[in-house]
Amino acid sequence: MKNYILALDQGTTSSRAILFDHEGRIGGCAAQEFPQHFPRPGWVEHDANDIWTSQLAVARQVLREANVRPAQVRAIGIANQRETTVLWERATGRPVAPAIVWQDRRTADQCDALRAAGKATLIRDCTGLELDAYFSATKLAWLLENVPGARARAERGELCFGTVDSWLVFNLCGAHVTDVSNASRTMLFNIHLMRWDADLLALFDIPEAVLPEIVSSSGEIGATHASLFSSPIPVAGIAGDQQAATFGQACHQPGMVKNTYGTGCFMLMHAGSHPVVSHQRLLSTVGWRLHDGPCYLLEGSVFMGGATVQWLRDGLGIIEKSSDVEALAASVPDSGGVLLVPAFVGLGAPHWDPYARGTIVGLTRGSTAAHIARAAVEAIAYQSAELLTAMQRDAAHPVVEVRADGGAARNDLLMQFQADLLGVPVVRPRVTETTALGAAYLAGLAVHFWASKEEIAAQWQCERRFEPAMPEDRRAALLARWGRAVERSRGWDVD
């Protein structure tokens, strides 16, 4: 019988399950979207049960459709949307409140108060993160304050906090754990000591009893409950989606860079075995921990990447499906001077402005839906170009190429414009499902499905290489104009 690794790729808008064989090829794929909830402006929530039921459904579906028995699955690897905060009952597994999504801005005021109290430096020094509502700590603090009885129950050990990886593992096999990559995104984890930080727990008033055990990114955690599949499957790999994508892109050496074009855009550089202190407001984060110790990454985060295209589809209704955007954008030679800054939930790196809001500038009577679509596609590339500029200023290693993945990486128009703005080649691999692939690799290493990182790196193959072709003066002019548009979006939602 042919054996596989099953990757569970739990994202912001959908849950996916992908089977990978020993050659790193896809043996089956299933996906299911689940509802998004926006109860107030700036609030973004999920029903944690929707996350679990959709993820279980696609896991079962891919096995059924690929005619693969659970006994053929050597292990399960998990990649997950990061920072999204779930709080549930330890005894029953019932969520006590909606999950607060990473995009949610309800705790921006709390972050402002902490910044005014001079706590941003402590947080940055311990965690490598900017003080921002993006991360889990203030979300968890909000839940403990606003869910009746939650704080007392958490102190008694009756509640479990976790990011989505923890929630899935709890439902899969009953363990309350998180891996080092996800822990490093909570703003409660000391990336130097590799443990929960007592000073940060005190600062955010988080009882330690609510926290998961921290484990390595590759290693057997437990086996799935008998009721889920016809035979138990080991759960053996966990990483936050962007760290998993970096591993799946075989960025195993310092200086290698990948950019994932998903709901958001996330550019990560392998920084080596020690954290890099950013002077450009990038994040220093844990990539993964294997038997040879931790790997650190330098990261820039864009909150609205592919989600900008979803807004064209769902908000404006100018396309029927997300894949239509490339043809509509390509129907005009350029954006006609239109620039769209998709700061719908604020701006991430390098600005970190929770009060920025979406802005369209440069509209004229001649502007059409096609120009707006083109501006939306180009906005994804502009935001990523800002990240690379910041990264090159911070890092000791020159960037020679950017490996691209994620759904929007299939958009040739976007990839070419991105290479033009970056001034370095953008390389698209044959397997663009690198988030799931990275989770599979981490799980497969734990059960000896793959022998080494070197064996994994040898499987990476280029599908297409986009070379920069834009004159430098044109590139500089476009980036300067983008900077002006960004300034017009900043600080908008301030009372």
**Binding region:** 12-14, 16, 82-83, 134, 241-242, 263, 306, 310, 407, 411
H or E stretch covering 28: strand 26-33
Residues sharing a CB contact under 8 Å with residue 442, sequence separation 6 or more, in sequence order? 77, 217, 218, 236, 237, 238, 239, 244, 247, 288
Task: State how many domains the chain has.
Answer: 1
Closest listed residue to residue 86, CA positions, set 55, 51, 59: 51
Task: Answer yes or no: is 371 within a domain.
Answer: no
Model confidence at 41: pLDDT above 90: no
- The neighbouring-strand residues paired with 75 are 5
Task: Answer yes or no: is 50 within a domain.
Answer: yes
Model confidence at 163: pLDDT above 90: yes
Categorize the per-residue pLDDT at 120 as very low, low, confident or very high, splitting at 50, 70 and 90.
Answer: very high
Task: Answer yes or no: is 360 within a domain.
Answer: no
With a pLDDT cut of 70, the percent of the chain lying above it is 100
Pair 158, 151: CB distance under 8 Å: no
In terms of Cβ atoms closer than 10 Å to its own Cβ (0-12, 13-18, 19+), residue 333 is exposed
Can you give the residue range of the structural domain that contains 222? 4-241
CATH of the domain at 224: 3.30.420.40
Ramachandran angles phi, psi of 177, nearest 5°: -140, 165
What is the predicted pLDDT for the residue at 495? 61
Q: Which residue has the higher pLDDT, 417 or 134?
A: 417
List pLDDT tens digits, range 288-332.
Answer: 999 888 999 999 988 888 889 999 999 999 999 888 899 999 999
**Binding region for glycerol:** 82-83, 134, 241-242
Task: Answer yes or no: is 169 within a domain.
Answer: yes
Task: Answer yes or no: is 345 within a domain.
Answer: no
Pair 95, 48: CB distance under 8 Å: yes
**Binding region for ADP:** 12, 16, 263, 306, 407, 411
Task: Answer yes or no: is 204 within a domain.
Answer: yes
List pLDDT tens digits, range 185-232.
Answer: 999 999 999 999 999 999 999 999 999 999 999 999 999 999 999 999
**Binding region for ATP:** 12-14, 263, 306, 310, 407
Task: Answer yes or no: is 141 within a domain.
Answer: yes
List pLDDT tens digits, range 427-449.
Answer: 999 988 899 999 999 999 999 99
**Binding region for sn-glycerol 3-phosphate:** 12, 82-83, 134, 241
What is the predicted pLDDT for the residue at 394? 84
What is the predicted pLDDT for the residue at 206? 96
